[in-house]
Structures are given as C-alpha cells and as structure tokens.
Structure 1
Amino acid sequence: MDPVIIVGAGPVGLTLALALARQEVPSVVLDEGPGKDEQRLARTVVLREDTAALLARLSGFPLAAAGLVWTGWRSVRRRQVMRNIRFDDVPDVPGEAASGGASRGATEDAVQEASAGPAPLHLAQHVLTGALRDAIAEERLVKVAVESRLDSIEQEASGVTAHTRGPKGTWWRGSYLIGCDGPRSTVRKLQDIRFPGRTAVERHAVAALRTELPWSGEALLHRAPPWRTSGPSAGEITARPLPDGVWRLDWLLPPGKDLVTPDLLVARIRETLAGWSAGSTPPYDLLDTGVHAVHHRLARRWRAGRVFLAGDAAHLLGALGTQGLDEGLRDADNLAWKLALAWHHGPHEALLDSYQVERRGLVAARLRAADQALPLLRGGKGLRSYVPGSSRGHDALLTDGHLGRGPLGAPGAYADSPLAPPRTESETAVETAPGSQVVDVRVTAEDGTFVRLRDRLGRGALLVVLIAPGTGVWARKHWVSAGIMPRLAAAVTALPHPAELLVAESYPGAAAHTVLLVRPDGHLVTALSGVRPSDLYTAAEAALGDRKKSEAAGTGAGAGTGAGTGTGGVG
C-alpha cells in the first residue's frame, strides 16, 4: 500500500510521521524548506505534561534536558518592586520577605500560583524540531523530501496523488494526505475549505534575553505593572525561563497596529527589568526579538475524502495562555492510530470521521472559552469593575490557561465521541471519565516488567488494564494463571483488534477487579466492573468505529460467556 503523504515539516508533521512509523506505516514528509530550522530563541513552545511525554516517547530524546520545566507560575495583578513605601492595607507577595519595615512587591490581589500537577515544559521550537528530525533520520519508514512545495492534489477512491514544484518537482502517490502546513495551508486552499475566525485577537512584543531576575526557574504572569513610561500599554507581561539564564519576555500590546520600533522595545525591556529589580536595570544581553499576533480561526472541515488537516492548518488559537502547538500535537496523536488501522486493515470510515468530530469539537470549545473570557480579562470596564473579588477569579482563570488547567488549558475529553460504547450495567465509575486521558500509573507488562502505562501508548494496540491490588509484590508467574486472569486473558485475545493486557496495583477511584479499556492515544473507552467478555468486546468494537455493530451486540450486554467478576481474585 502507498505511504501516507504529510505536507509540512513542522513539529506537528514530524510528530505525525514518527507516530505512524511506530505503528509500521510508511510516510513521505514534503518539506518546502531546506530541511533545517532557523534558531530563534524568541520562538518558543509550551508543552503540557502529556504532549511532552508523547514527544519524548516518539523521539527518544529527553526533552526536559533541553528545556526547563517550570517549577511554578507566579501570578501578580500589580507588582511594584520599590523600597521605603509601605502598603499597610495589603499583604506581601507570598514568598517575598519585607525589607526595612517596607513591603516589597505588595499590592492588591497579589497571589502566588503553583501548578497542581507537573508544570509545563518551555523550550525553543528549533530544539524541538531538531530532536524530531534526528529521530526521523534514524527511521526507515519516513522519507523527508526537502525543497518540495505542494501545488496540486488529485484524489480517487484508491488513493491520493500530489505534485510538488522545486528543484526536484515530481508526482507523489499516497494512500492518504495530511496537511500540516501551517496557517496559510496550501492543502486547505486546494481543498477549498473555509477558515473563518478573528484576526489579531491579541498582539505581543517578544524578547529573548540573558539576564538574572529576582526569581529563578519560575514563570511570571504580571497582570498590571505600574510603570507606563514607554507609551500606551495593556499592562500584562509574562516571563518564561529557558536554559542557560535565558528568559522569554512577552508584553501584551494595546489593540491596533502600532509599530513596535526597536527603541520602544528596548525601553520596555529596561523599564520592566528595573521594575522587577528594585528600580535599577540589571545587565542583560538581548538575543532575539519579534512581534507575535494571535489569531482565532477554525477550519470548517478537517477531512475531505482521503485528505485531512492538522495543527495550524486546521485551527489557530493562543490567547489567554492557550497553546496552539500543544493542540496540534494532540491532533497528530488522535489521527495517527486511526490512519494506521485503516492503512493496515482497510477502510474504517466511521473511525476516520471521528478525528474531525473529536478534535474539531474540542478545539472549538477551547476557542469559545477563550472568546468568552477575553472581554472580562482584557476589558477595563464591565463585570470585573462591579463584582467584588472578580479580578482574583479572572487572574486564576488566566493562570489556569498558562498552566494547562480548566477550560482554557486542561487536556480535553471526548465526552460525546462517536467512538463511545453503549452504556451497560457492568460499567463502573473511576476518577477518569470516559473519553478523558488515563492517569499514568505503574503497570506490569505481559513480559513481567514494571513500566508506566503511558509507555505502552501509541503502538496501535488497545490496552486492557486490570486493577489488582497486591500484584506488585509478587512475581507475575505467581498470579498470571490464578483467579480471574485466565478468563480475562482469553477475553483480550478474542477482541476484534490487537490488545495488550496490563495489570496495575491501583488506579484513582477504581475498585479491585476493575477492568479499563484504553485507546492507543491514551483516552479511556470504558471501565467495567470485573471480567465481562461480551461488554469488553462491545466496547472495543465501538472504539474502532463499529458503533452500530456494538449497539446491536449490546442488547444482551453482560450475559456473555464467562461474565462476572469471579471470587478467586488474582493472587
């Protein structure tokens, strides 16, 4: 069968190619550039824990060694770093000691925020793409064609033909084609797919510089600094750490198209550093600058026959701490296992259609949340002016977006997925809702080794996880043939798609003998109370897109051979 054609060699396209290769699907990546990435320290990416783990798993590169995990996020609405001024009516900024009886950095609504879970990873984009390119260079199933700019696509029932122009212009034959070619996507335009939305929702001036700030390894969100000597300003500033003493600073610009001149940017840098450093500007080296405009757009369709869109070609977002690249990587993770199944086993139209339903629905919800919050968080008047304490709530909402929490930042759940199985009496509740990402617990693999659940994702197989307290202290040979294990192993073998049986000592909210069915991209299909072969089979069929078949089979759910929890346990 022909390889998958991936148009675009950015992080999303390269990640998709590696994800397909891990599932034995060949691909061709059409790169219109020379195969190298410009080193820009002012162009950085923020990765949530799960997407960082996805990239590390695919590339084999310890991304945390090349980036810097934030140890927390300090959210301050107004922060003055001044001596000999006492603010008697407000507390000190948490973590800051007063000096000489004066409050340092103490103002209204000053709060310290820390990530409830693992903090996001911040690194330069060229570091990320370099790691992905290095991994692809060792991958036999991925071919990268540089200086190949797409100019036409032809589809038929059996595949896709694409033509590229350039020094080596030629025709390419593929089974499917995915446009990962950015906001000005040629693939999207050739398929005549509309891309409506809003332009320049936010604009930021950006600078990467090497300096020493009063805090270390901690990102800062400064909501309304008191200094305004460099001209009109919306006030918000963020500072994010990078390795080697480098910081990326972002200044939210006022609405409009005012030119950010070098003199204006240097003035902002100097006054900001002085404001954070008790009035004197510390030494700094300016390494890179830029202006970043945030657009909100969503493609009308993400699939046109054998052609799909992913990443910035399908959506643009980024206001209030939301991360477009992070969502693009989730696109690749969602699409890869579905394409792989269709590539290996023939057309699975309902499964392929679910990509658009799941991913477009989730990104649309993220955009709606940001658009609804923007007037409250950015407006100078309105609700926040009249509701006591509202500014603190808005600050928390914005901080959640940056930390990957809440409606603006938390990993999404496919609650209304067409791949959800019909409800059965054996379904049980755990802390992970169906359609959400599973928690990364330690599990025992089929070879008896202890691994992380997340390490078994992305191989194309479904995962069946039995919760069996006590198994962690015994060698697998002592319990693999005891209690309910043989019946569960037989049920897993009989599933309509390859599946791996794993055993965990515990899982949040799960009782003993709970059985979890997990998709290859780490989203929970269902949790069953005990070994229910017919219900497990029905859920697996639904997860593969055979919802009608599974609903028909579900009429007698729970009554299949060997149904029930048993009483023998595992050990």
Structure 2
Amino acid sequence: MRELRTDVLIVGAGPTGLMLAAWLAKLGVNAVLVDGKGGPTRESRALGVHSRSMEIYDQLGVVDRVLAEGYAAVTIRPGYENRSFGAVPIGRFGEGLTPYPGLHVLEQSRNERILLERLEERGGSVEWDHPLTSLATDDDGVTAECSGPSGPLRVRARFCVGADGGSSAVRKLSAIPFEGLTNQHTFYVADVLGVRGIAEDSANLRFGAEEFLLGFPMGADGHHRLLGVLRTAPGTDVSESVALQRLDAVFGVTYRERLWFSTYRIHHRVAARFRQGPVFLAGDAGHVHSPVGAQGMNTGLQDAHNLAFKLADVIQGRASESLLDRYESERRPVALRLVNSTDRVFALVTSDRPLARTVRRVLPRLFAPVAIRLVPRLPIAPRLFGYLSQIRIHYWMNDAVPSPDASSTRARRRRGRVVGRRLPWTGPNFEPLRSATWQVHTYGEMDSEVAAAVGHALQVPVHSFAAAADKGLEAGTCYLVRPDGFVAGAAPVETAVSRLREMLPDRWFGSHQAST
C-alpha cells in the first residue's frame, strides 16, 4: 500500500476542492487532493460566477483567465411564456460596489481547468481515480484509504476536507446527517446551439402558469444553457423530445443542436455540522439547493476560500485549533439562508396550489413591465445586487464562536456596515488584498508615523487610502482586514492597538513572522 503524509487531505477535485487546494498551495500548506473521477469534469454543469467569486479569483491571481474565457451577462430579461418584458441592467446595479459587476458565465469545467492549472503552477496535483473507501479519526488527525488503479493509497493527515459533492463519502463515513428534503418535480438542463426565442446577450427568466425557464448565454452561435421544470406525474421520465416540445409550445423557444441534456431532482439539504473534529465539509458536501440564482458553485468556492486561511493560521502556528470552529459558525448560516431562500423561490415557481398558480399567471404580466423601469432607479437596487452577488455576506466578529442560531440575542443585534463584512471596494484598496495577509487600512488624513506605529505594534502592514465615508470607511479609524478580505474590527487610531490585537489569531505575536 502506498502511503502519504500531509497537513490537509482534500477529497473531491471539483471547483470547491480545487479552490481549496490552490489556496493552500499559495499559502504554503501541504495538501493531498484525491478524486474518484478519471480527470476533470467534462460537462459544463454550474456556470454562473458572481462578483464575490470574481474577487476571490482576482486575489488568487487568475481573474484574467476567467475574464478571457467567460461571457459577461450584464442584463436579465424576465418574461411570461413567449413574451419578454425588457432588460434589467444587473451589471449597472453593481457599479461602484465591486470591480466585477454583473454575472460572468463560465461553465464548471472551465472553472475547474483554471483552478487545476493554478494548482499545478504551485507544484500541486490531483490523485485521480482514487475514490475514498475508509476514513478514521483520532486525536492526531485522520487516516484515509482510497482505492486506485495501481493499488490502494493510505493518507495520514492532520485535517480532512470533504469537497466531494452531494453524495459525499466523507460526510457519510463521518455519519453527519444531511438534513432537508427533495422536490417532487423533475428539473431538466440542456446545453444547446442555435437557440431561438430568447435574447442572446442576457440571462433570460420566463415564467408560465405551469412551468418556468432559465436561459444563460454561453457564447457564439446561439450557445445557451436552458434549465426548467416540466409538469409530469411523479416518477415519470422526462425525455429531450418532451422538453423540446414544451419549450416550443409554452415559451416559443427552439434550438438547432443539443450538446448535453440531463434531468434530475432538486434537493434542499444542509449538513448538520460543517466540522466534526478534524473533518470539515465544504461546497455541495455541506449544502445543496436549487440552481435558482446560480449560487451553488459560488458558495462552495467561498467555503473553500474561508477555510483555507483558517487552516493556514492553525497549521503554521498563528492560531489554536479553536479558530477552526469559526468556519462552521460563519459558513453554515450562509448555507442555511441560501437553502431557505432558494427553497421558497423554487416552491413558488413549482407549487400546484391555486394561489401560487395565480401568482405565476398574473404578477409577471401585471407588474414586471413596471418593475423593469422602476427598480433600476430605486436605492434598493444595489442592495439586491449585493445579495445576489454575495458581497453582502455578514459574519459576527465579536465572539470567539458566534452561534448560528437565528433566534439568539446576537443575531437580533444590528449588523455593522463595515465590520463583519467583506471590505467595501474603493478602487485601489483591493490591491493589497492580493498579498493574502492580515492588514490594517486607514482612510482619509492620518499621520503616517502614527499609522506606522499601529502596524508595528500589531505586526501587520498598514495601507492608507483616500477618504471613503460614503462606503462607511471613516477617517481617523483603523480597520483590521482578514486575509479573506473581511473586516475583523475597527477602532479609533488612539485605541486601535489595544482593541484590534484582540481580533488577531490568538498565537499571532511571536509566531507569525517565522511562518511567513
């Protein structure tokens, strides 16, 4: 039996696992990545890359590749059956909020290839054709065994991350419940060429009394991803010919050639725990939901991004293992909110109840034409974009292990505009984030020697920028920014050292310089 020893074993080389492996390689953490497949995904599968994920790609140094290979969909065109009501400029909603407004369309297979190339550039690789067969934990970590074409592989690791999808072997072998439900309706997905009946430059959303359709542009020659629900009896197979007939009859949509067609059932589930000792769950292994909003792959990418820095701080001696509890307390509430919101939306567009059918039949035709003209002018538009693009995610920063319980006193407190959120973008202030280090930011006029003294006392770099009060970044305040770009704390410069040092990893002083 071949044996390997490493700091982190990652099971699953999809977008989440590859993102985690690429980040750990960048941060200098040893990891082994295994996957039961023979190679990278060939099917397009997930395809929407939101603004927050683009920012993470920028920080990783691969955003130019994503932009070169992707397709920007800056408008959404809602409609009812075969009628479109016009374009909603979602890209304009995000202007001034992020360097990457709008929705970037890049299928999962290409995301994986870009991340794999980045991993290989850092000296990493994937153990393909090595499905996980056993997993045991003890006080010192995990021992995993995989089958392989040249014989079994045993991996001894301090930590294990299951990024192996909705049927996660890591989750099952760890006996972690996967709580939720399965929708009774059949969902279909097709990649097609020569599409007619929907706009080629927009994401298309069409409602019907019985069915709905999503269409995403994927390139030239009418290349689109079509997704929707067909009304069939439970257990009835949906063929491509049936889907094509309904697309034409209900939505007036046809296509010349099919590249890929599949059907599946929609699950809405969240793992009961994202951490169990040295074992973690990320991406679909921890949460699955409907593709409404194109959030699934993005949430997994951000799970990996969040966890990578925590693992690095612990493994490299800057923090005790208690820091890893924050991964579940930060990311599981995000998954719960996402699953709950997509479940409600999916229930509305698929429910057989008379009220839901009436809403689908009446509201789009009655209010959508007015909303398209009105919403872009409303102050709420940037907020809506923030939720969709996942740049408005909030973490509680003032407790060692925040409770995910929505009924807790902490959850009912007012959330800060800056602290606990991803750093507001002002333009140049995202450039230092590429260093992937803890850092202090100041905005507006501040004595450079005073700012430097704060950085010296906290043993972090300090970066100063022009005033940005409209972003909530106040002059005279020091902002401690985590390596993942979230603001851990803020304090007036007079008390910054004493207050912000409490927000740094608990073994930071005297340990971080030796490992950087």
Give the TM-score taking structure 1 as reference length.
Answer: 0.74
Code of the aligned partner of 1:176: F
Pair 1:254-2:215 in alignment: no
* 1:161-220 alpha-carbon deviations (Å, 9 max, x no partner): 221112231211212111111111111111111111111365422221112546332111
Matches within 5 A, 1:422-433: 432-433=417-418
**What does residue 523 of structure 1 align with?**
486
C-alpha contact (below 8 Å) 2:217/2:225 kept by paired residues: yes
Equivalent runs, 1:398-547 vs 2, <5 Å: 405=385, 410-417=390-397, 419=399, 432-443=417-428, 453-457=429-433, 459-468=435-444, 484-495=447-458, 499-507=460-468, 508-529=471-492, 531-532=493-494, 534-544=495-505
Instruction: Give the helix-richer structure, 1 or 2.
Output: 2
Which amino acid in structure 2 is aligned with residue 433 of structure 1? V
Q: For residues 248 and 306 of structure 1, do their structure 2 counterparts lie closer, same or farther at Cα, with a shift above 3 Å needed?
A: same
Matched residue, 1:334: 306
Give the counterpart of 2:287 among 292, 310, 315.
315
* Kept after mapping to 2: 8 A contact 1:48/1:404: no
Q: 1:35 to 1:203 in 2, by over 3 A?
A: same
Residues 394 and 438 (structure 1), Cα distance of their counterparts in 2 relative to 1, 3 Å cut: farther
Residue matched to 2:18? 14
1:494 match: secondary structure: helix
Residue 189 (structure 2) aligns with: 206
Q: Larger deviation: 210-219 or 385-394?
A: 385-394
Decide whether aligned partners of structure 1 residues 459 and 29 sit closer, same or farther in structure 2, where only a CA change above 3 A counts. Answer: farther
Q: How far did residue 327 of structure 1 move?
A: 0.8
The aligned runs of 1:166-205 (5 Å cut-off) are 166-167=148-149, 168-200=151-183, 203-205=186-188
Q: Which residue of 1 aligns with 2:405?
A: none
Counterparts of residues 32-71 of structure 1 (less than 5 Å):
32-38=36-42, 40-41=43-44, 43-58=45-60, 60=62, 61-71=64-74
CA–CA separation in structure 1 for the residues paired with 2:271 and 2:183: 17
The letter for the 2-side match of 1:77 is: Y
Distance, in Å, in 2 between the alignment partners of 1:352 and 1:527 is 22
Aligned to 2:245: 267
Partner of 2:21: helix, strand, or coil?
helix
Q: Percent sequence identity over matched residues?
A: 27
Shift of 1:268: 3.4
The CA distance in 1 between the partners of 2:477 and 2:185, in whole Å, is 47
Q: Could you tell me which of 196, 215, 235 is aligned with 1:239?
A: 215
| Cα distance between partner residues in 2 of 1:383 and 1:286 | 32
Cα distance in 2 for partners of 1:372, 1:410 equals: 18
CA distance in 1, matches of 2:359, 2:60: 50
Pairing of 1:76-115 with structure 2 (within 5 A): 76-80=79-83, 93-94=85-86, 112=88, 114-115=90-91
Contact residue 9 and residue 160 of structure 2 kept, 8 A: yes
Contact 2:444 2:465 (C-alpha < 8 Å) held by counterparts = yes
Instruction: Provide the rounded CA distance (Å) in 2 between the counterparts of 1:544 and 1:486.
Output: 25
Give a deviation string over 1:47-72, Cα, whole Å, max 9, x none. Answer: 11120231344252520211111021
Residue 72 of structure 1 corresponds to 75
**Partner residue in 2 for 1:161:** 143
How far does the alpha carbon of each residue in 1:488-513 deviate from its partner, in whole angstroms, 9 at most, with x for none?
21211222xx5231122133133333
Structure 1 residue 128: Cα displacement = 1.1
**Compared CA separation, residues 388 and 193, structure 1 to 2 (3 A):** closer
- In structure 1, the residue corresponding to 2:485 is in which secondary structure? coil
In the alignment, which residue of structure 1 is the partner of 2:406? none
* 2:451 alignment partner, SS class: helix
Residue 382 (structure 1) aligns with: 355
Relative contact order, CA 8 A, sep 6+: which one is greater? 2
Secondary structure in 1 matching 2:440: strand
1:321-364, Cα deviation, whole Å (9 max, x unpaired)? 25211111111111111000000006623310010011001211
Secondary structure in structure 2 of the residue aligned to 1:62? helix
Which of 202, 215, 219 does residue 218 from structure 1 map onto? 202
Q: Which moved more, 1:29-38 or 1:10-19?
A: 29-38
SS at structure 1 position matched to 2:28: coil
- Unpaired runs of 5+ residues, structure 2, are 95-100, 403-413, 508-516
The code of the aligned residue for 2:32 comes to V
Secondary structure of 2:39's partner?
coil
For 1:461, give the aligned amino acid: T
Distance 1:503 1:59, change over 3 A: closer
Q: Is the CA contact (8 Å cut-off) linking 2:202 and 2:216 kept in structure 1?
A: yes
Distance 2:384 2:259 in 1: 28
State the Cα distance separating 1:421 from its structure 2 match: 11
Tell me the SS of whatever aligns to 2:178. coil
Query: Per the alignment, do residues 212 and 162 of structure 1 end up closer, same or farther by CA in structure 2, a change over 3 Å counting?
Result: closer
1:322–1:409 Cα contact (<8 Å) kept: no
Q: Distance in 2 between matches of 1:27 and 1:318?
A: 31
**Distance verdict in 2 for CA 1:206–1:376, change over 3 Å:** closer
Deviation of 1:438 (Å):
1.5
Contact residue 45 and residue 122 of structure 1 kept, 8 A: yes
Is the alpha carbon distance of 1:506 and 1:535 closer, same or farther for their aligned partners in structure 2, counting shifts above 3 Å? Answer: closer
* Aligned position for 2:409: none
Quick one: which amino acid aligns to residue 521 of structure 1?
A: D
Is the CA contact (8 Å cut-off) linking 2:19 and 2:304 kept in structure 1? yes
Deviation at 1:237, TM superposition (A): 1.0
* Alignment CA distance shift 1:200-1:454 (3 Å): farther
Q: Does residue 121 of structure 1 match 2:110?
A: no
Name 1:446's counterpart in structure 2.
none
| Partner Cα distance (1:296, 1:212) in 2 | 30
Paired residue secondary structure (1:205): strand
SS at match of 2:449: helix
Q: Are 1:337 and 1:458, in contact at CA under 8 Å, matched by a contact in 2?
A: no
Q: Secondary structure at the match of 1:434?
A: coil
Unaligned runs of 5+ in 1: 82-92, 96-111, 226-233, 423-428, 444-452, 470-482, 547-571
Q: Which amino acid aligns with 1:171?
A: R
Q: Which secondary structure state, in structure 2, belongs to the residue aligned with residue 337 of structure 1?
A: helix
Contact 1:377/1:394 (8 A) holds in 2: no
In the alignment, is the contact (CA less than 8 A) between 1:59 and 1:132 conserved in 2? Answer: no
SS of the residue 1:54 aligns to: helix
Q: Per-residue displacement from partner, 1:397-420 (whole Å, max 9, x unpaired)?
A: 9x999x974766644533434557
Q: Distance in 2 between matches of 1:387 and 1:289?
A: 26
Match of 2:258 among 267, 286, 304: 286
Query: For the structure 1 residues 199 and 17, does the alpha-carbon distance in structure 2 shift closer, same or farther, using more than 3 Å as the test?
Result: same
C-alpha distance 159-386 of structure 1, shift in aligned 2 (>3 A): closer
Deviations 1:210-252 (A, max 9, x none): 1254633211101128xxxxxxxx3211110002231111122
How many pairs were matched up?
A: 470
Q: Partners of 2:367 and 2:276 in 1: how far apart? A: 42
SS at match of 2:245: helix
Distance 1:333-1:537 versus aligned 2 partners, 3 A rule? farther
- Using the alignment, how far apart are the partners of 1:518 and 1:195 within structure 2? 34
